[in-house]
Amino acid sequence: MRLRKMKLMEKPVIKAARRTGLVNEYYFSTKLAEIARMRQQGLDVISLGIGSPDMPPAAIVIEELCRNASGIGNHGYQSYRGIPALRGAFAAWYLKYFGVTLDPETEILPLIGSKEGIMHISMAFLDPGDEVLVPDPGYPTYNAATTLAGGIARVYDLKEGNGWLPDLESIEASGVEKVKIMWINYPHMPTGARATPELFQHLVDFACRHSILLCNDNPYSFILNSDHLSLLSVPGARDVALELNSLSKSHNMAGWRVGMVAGNSGFINEILKVKSNMDSGMFQPLQAAAAKALSAPDEWYEQLNEVYRRRRNFAAEIMNALSCTFDPKQAGLFLWGRIPADCFDSIALTEELLQKNHVFITPGSVFGDNGRRFIRISLCATEELLKEALKRITSDNHTEVI
């Protein structure tokens, strides 16, 4: 009786799945929590880290959301494929800006943010042991989603000397027999490098030769970039490629969580098998508002980019104050710069700035080993905040980093 009582009192041990031990909490999740604690202690921290647009969507988008939210019948479950109006708006947007014709019925799948799509694609196409080519530097989620889905992430190098473009000959020479997916991301985050039609053609040819699913993550095409280029515009791409896109950056709707994946109907149907078992559709008023956002005139993008151009000038001054070098022709929502030779690495530099100057800048090492000598400044801060950050960094009490 006593033994039985002691056994009942033992604390149960419930272990998490082994896969959770293979990944870490997302860097910005932990860093933003640290910054929140510093602010609770009364420290005025300026964050130039994450790329979360601080400006609102167009007024007509919010009006459309409110109008549809008042509709009695708009609050139920929605189609897993998204409402026709949103799919049609994505198709019209791709035709107007990318010159790509997509069938809104079969070749477009709206997503609750394109980050969701990275996981869905990984789960839909990877078997345990399949290899996935992920860029270094690159978005950390490509690696994490691969691992969580049972695949093996295999890094391919992007180097400054090669314009942050993949060396396909080197990748091919290393053997690609087990590769199932290759992730690319142009305009590139974090470096701001742009692709060319020639590069995309070479990538499609490479994917066709080796039966690799080529996935382009394309959310930065409209930020400080007028050359809108889609992987799906390349001849033969429909046989081997998918493209993700998002309203997060281009329409100031990061928190709305609206994205899409486009490709041939066979690929889309496989992704839908996963997605339909993980969510129950997107709020209808939100979808209607997103469709309205996609009809924005050219002036919307021009006005948005004028703000980012002014902000980038201040980000460039910060880079210069830190003796960092950078390519002024970068696209996207960030400024990427090489740290000076006398700095140990990007983590040392950014930690010094955070602790001594209360300015948070992202270390490039977050994005891979090839980012260790680089930092990234987000343009999602007002000119006033950027000026204040510059003032703090150049003030007399700034401690040099060694």
The pTM of the full predicted model, rounded to 2 decimals, is 0.91
Q: What is the pLDDT of residues 197-240, one digit of tens each?
A: 999 999 999 999 999 999 999 999 999 999 999 999 999 999 99
pLDDT given for residue 17 in this prediction = 81
| Lowest-pLDDT range of 154-158, 279-283, 292-296 | 279-283
Residue percentage of the chain with pLDDT more than 70 = 96
pLDDT given for residue 402 in this prediction = 33
Q: What is the pLDDT of residues 179-190, one digit of tens each?
A: 999 999 999 999
Question: How many Å separate Cα 349 from the centre of its chain?
Answer: 24
- How far, in Å, CA of 148 to CA of 152, rounded? 10
Angle among Cα 204, 207, 210 to the nearest 5 degrees reads 150
User: For the chain, which residues make up each domain, given as ranges?
Assistant: 9-56+299-394, 74-293
pLDDT category at 311 given cuts 50, 70, 90 is very high
DSSP state of 75: S
**Hey, CA dihedral for 30, 36, 41, 44, is it positive or negative?**
positive
Residue pair 183/134 in contact (Cβ under 8 Å)? The answer is yes
Q: What does the chain come to in residues? A: 402
**Token reading at 383:** 């000119």
- How far, in Å, CA of 394 to CA of 85, rounded? 51
- CA 236 vs CA 62, 167, 216, 224: distances in Å: 39, 21, 15, 29
The yes-or-no verdict on residue 63 having pLDDT over 70 is: yes
pLDDT given for residue 328 in this prediction = 93
Nearest alpha carbon to residue 132 among 117, 124, 122, 119: 122
Residue with tokens 């970039």: 225
Q: Please, what's the largest Cα pairwise distance for the chain?
A: 79
**Token reading at 25:** 């909490």
Q: Does domain 74-293 have CATH number 3.40.640.10?
A: yes
9-56+299-394 and 74-293, same CATH topology: no
pLDDT given for residue 385 in this prediction = 96
pLDDT category at 260 given cuts 50, 70, 90 is very high
Q: Which CATH class is domain 9-56+299-394?
A: alpha beta
Rounded (to 5) percent helix, strand, coil in the chain = 45, 15, 40
